[in-house]
Structures are given as structure tokens and as C-alpha cells.
């Protein structure tokens, strides 16, 4: 199968505002990419384009050998930052719903993940706390056997215990041989143990990218430390 992600000179413009400018990106299976940058840097826009939610202004995007569209939605599991689950859904109803849309959705895996992430099994999504809702969404995303997982701020606004549980579940559950993950987050210190590669975005441009371990060795500091230096 072709590499999960191949991006060449990707640009996106909203009116007179350039959200992305000339992004190049390649990610192979078994790798986790940290997508890092301040608010407004273009992280969510890039993920939405990869998810097929938005269209690029120019450039080339290939996901498992296909341009983003109906075909790639079968190969990409997308966790948006915003709530996208119906408030009245319980975990079991959500499992049934997802199973009708995605052939790669694993019902048994989802049930186990709800248990691992300690999501109340009988409560509606709308009645859950923010941390519980974040874990609910993650369970549904990780239950898909998709080659590419797109996780947009899965740790945003949740408590420390939820963050730890989410990160350990991501690390323990993704299939290193045939899946790739792109993870956008502001919680760099907590998430950087996941990163094989990183790309730093600023005002829509990639200002630094590379293998995380190489960057740590070259600069003598953590990815979080490099982030602070780049955006000081």
C-alpha cells in the first residue's frame, strides 16, 4: 500500500488570508507525527484537508494513493477538536451507528476501549463531562482499523487524569505496522513521548520539521524546549 500521507506544496487561502503556504509532508505507516504550533498556525486546517473536510487552494495531497474524497474516508479515521457526537447517544448506540458507516469499525474493540477509557456505559454523550466526552470520541476513532488516524487536539481542555489516560491509550492501541498518526496538540510536554516526527507550523508555513530524536540530539533539548525556542 502507498504511504498514508504524501503532501506537496499544499496551500490554503480563505479570502486574503493564507492558512497554509507551501507545506510538504510525507508520513509512513508505523510513525506518529506531532503537528505543533501556536493558535492560528494552520494545524486544524491541514488536518481538515487531510480528512477531506476542506479542499486545498493549490498543491497535491495523496492519502494511501488517493486524493482526499469519498475513497479516502474509508482509509482515514478523523477525531475533530469540536464535538461531533449526537448528545443523545450512549456508547452502544454510537458503536451501532459507526458500524453502519465504516467497514473497518471494530465493535468489540470499541466496547473494550470504552471500558479502558472509563466512559460511563449508560449515560448519553451530552450528559458527560468534557474529559469523558474526549475519551468517548477517542474510543470511536481508535476502534477503526484505518491506515491513517488524524487526531486534532484530543487533550484540549481535559483534566490531567483524562490526558494521561488518553495518551497511554493512543500509545498502546495504535497498530505500529500498518497505521500512521498525525496528532495536533498544544500539550507538547505530555505528548512528545508519542512523536516519531514533528513539524512546527507558524502562520501557515513549516518553520522546522524532522525526526524528533534527531532534533533533540541536534539541539540538546526536548521537543517542548525546541518549541519554546522556535516561538519565543
Report the pLDDT value the prediction gives residue 176, as an integer from 0 to 100.
Answer: 66
pLDDT of residue 231: 92
Each residue's pLDDT, cut to its tens digit, for the chain (232 residues) gives: 678 999 999 999 999 999 999 999 999 999 999 999 999 999 999 999 999 999 999 999 999 888 888 888 888 999 998 888 889 999 999 999 999 989 999 999 999 999 998 999 889 999 999 889 989 999 999 999 999 999 999 988 788 888 888 888 888 877 667 889 999 999 999 999 999 999 999 999 999 999 999 999 999 999 999 999 999 8
Q: What is the sign of the dihedral through the CA atoms of 121, 123, 124 and 129?
A: negative
CB within 8 Å of 97: residues ≥ 6 apart? 89
Q: Which runs of E-coded beta strand occur in 101-161? A: 148-152
pLDDT at 74: 86
Residue 15's region, left for phi above 0, alpha for psi from -120 to 50, else beta, is left
What is this structure's pTM? 0.93
Q: What is the CATH number assigned to the segment(s) 5-230?
A: 3.40.50.300
What is residue 144's predicted lDDT score, i.e. its pLDDT? Answer: 92
The span from the CA of 121 to the CA of 139, in Å, is 12
Amino acid at each position: 500500500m502507498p504511504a498514508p500521507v504524501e503532501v506537496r506544496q499544499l496551500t490554503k487561502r480563505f479570502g486574503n488570508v493564507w492558512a497554509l503556504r507551501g507545506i510538504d509532508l510525507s508520513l509512513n505507516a508505523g510513525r506518529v507525527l506531532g503537528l505543533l504550533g501556536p493558535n492560528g498556525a494552520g494545524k486544524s486546517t491541514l488536518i481538515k484537508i487531510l480528512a477531506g473536510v476542506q479542499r486545498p487552494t493549490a498543491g497535491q495531497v495523496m492519502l494511501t494513493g488517493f486524493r482526499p474524497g469519498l475513497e479516502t474516508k474509508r482509509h482515514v479515521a478523523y477525531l475533530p477538536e469540536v464535538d461531533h457526537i449526537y448528545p443523545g447517544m450512549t456508547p452502544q448506540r454510537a458503536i451501532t451507528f459507526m458500524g453502519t458507516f465504516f467497514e473497518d469499525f471494530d465493535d468489540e474493540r470499541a466496547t473494550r476501549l470504552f471500558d479502558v477509557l472509563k466512559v460511563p456505559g449508560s449515560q448519553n454523550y451530552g450528559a458527560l463531562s468534557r474529559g469523558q466526552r474526549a475519551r468517548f470520541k477517542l474510543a470511536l476513532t481508535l476502534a477503526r482499523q484505518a491506515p491513517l488516524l488524524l487526531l486534532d487536539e484530543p487533550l484540549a481542555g481535559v483534566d490531567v487524569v483524562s490526558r494521561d489516560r488518553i495518551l497511554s491509550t493512543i500509545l498502546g492501541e495504535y497498530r505500529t505496522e500498518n497505521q500512521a498518526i498525525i496528532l495536533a496538540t498544544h500539550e507538547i510536554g505530555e505528548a512528545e513521548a508519542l512523536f516519531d516526527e514533528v513539524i512546527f507550523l507558524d502562520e501557515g508555513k513549516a518553520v522546522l520539521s524532522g525526526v524528533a530524536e534527531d532534533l533533540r540530539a541536534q539541539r540538546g533539548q526536548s521537543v517542548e524546549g525546541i518549541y519554546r525556542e522556535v516561538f519565543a
